[in-house]
Amino acid sequence: MLHIINRSPLSDIALESCLNTAVGGDVLLIEDAVYAATAGNAFEGKLRAAMGRFKISVLRPDLEARGMADRLIEGATFVDYAGFVELVAANKTCQSWL
């Protein structure tokens, strides 16, 4: 399953709910959720701990738009819009966490 998160974990519980509820799969961070995958933020430890159960991908254009592309944590991977489409196509189901 592809789990799509678009809200910052610093102001919303969507990512935390996903990591606490979902069994595994791919997680795609888009929009303000990309902050979760940056070094030095308050949610970094929780995201790193979840990497054993989830493959974490970050939409590069959103990270670049926020000036954070050079702060991606180890273990997370960049995807572009084509990569976003590939993740959707590779997963049988998608869940947007709101």
Q: Which domain holds residue 53?
A: 2-97
Number of C-beta neighbours around residue 50 at 10 A? 20
Q: Are strands 25-29 and 54-59 parallel, antiparallel or unpaired?
A: parallel
- pLDDT averaged over the chain? 96
Number of structural domains (the chain) is 1
pLDDT at 89: 97
CATH of the domain at 41: 3.40.1260.10
Number of C-beta neighbours around residue 87 at 10 A? 19
Token pair 């030095």 in the structure block, residue: 40
DSSP 8-state secondary structure symbol assigned to residue 23: -
Q: What is the pLDDT of residues 37-55, one digit of tens each?
A: 999 999 999 999 999 999 9
pTM recorded for the entire structure: 0.96
Quickly state the pLDDT bin for 77 (edges 50, 70, 90). Answer: very high
Hey, which residues does 78 pair with through a beta bridge?
A: 58
As a whole number of angstroms, the distance between CA 88 and CA 41 comes to 28
